[in-house]
Amino acid sequence: MNPGMQQMIMFGLIIVVFYFFMIRPQMKKAKDQKKYIDELKRGDKVITTAGIHGKIVDITDTTFLIEVESGTKIRFDKSAISLEASKALNATKA
């Protein structure tokens, strides 16, 4: 086997490793995040990526209206909801 062919095989293996250890898990995480956000409904308790805790009071196509403890309502983009933190919050309160 010539050295050029060995380099090509090694390069191909590096690409496969990157796919399985970096790209694929990131795609799965994004898919799980989207599914979680699509399943949220009024009354669900969430935590935003900024760390704000609240309860969903209204949902539009792209935003959530969240009520915090003081009664203040704040509108957030759906992408601002933290999947891991919100699941942990609901698991401890269940």
pLDDT of amino acid 94: 53
Q: Which long-range contacts (CB under 8 A, 24 or more apart) does 30-35 make?
A: 32/83, 33/83
Give residue limits of the domains in the chain.
Answer: 1-39, 42-94
More confident residue, 89 or 3: 3
**What is the amino acid identity at position 61?**
D
Give the model confidence (pLDDT) of 38-80 as tens digits. 999 999 999 999 999 999 999 999 999 999 999 999 999 999 9
Examine the pLDDT at 89 and tell me if it is beyond 90. Answer: no
- CA–chain centroid gap for 32, Å, is 6
Q: How many Cβ atoms are within 10 Å of 47's Cβ, its own excluded?
A: 21
pLDDT of amino acid 58: 95
Q: Region 21-46: what's the mean pLDDT? A: 92
User: How would you list the strands of the sheet with 73-77, edge to edge?
Assistant: 45-47, 53-59, 63-67, 73-77
Average pLDDT value for the chain: 90
Q: Does domain 42-94 have CATH number 2.30.30.700?
A: yes
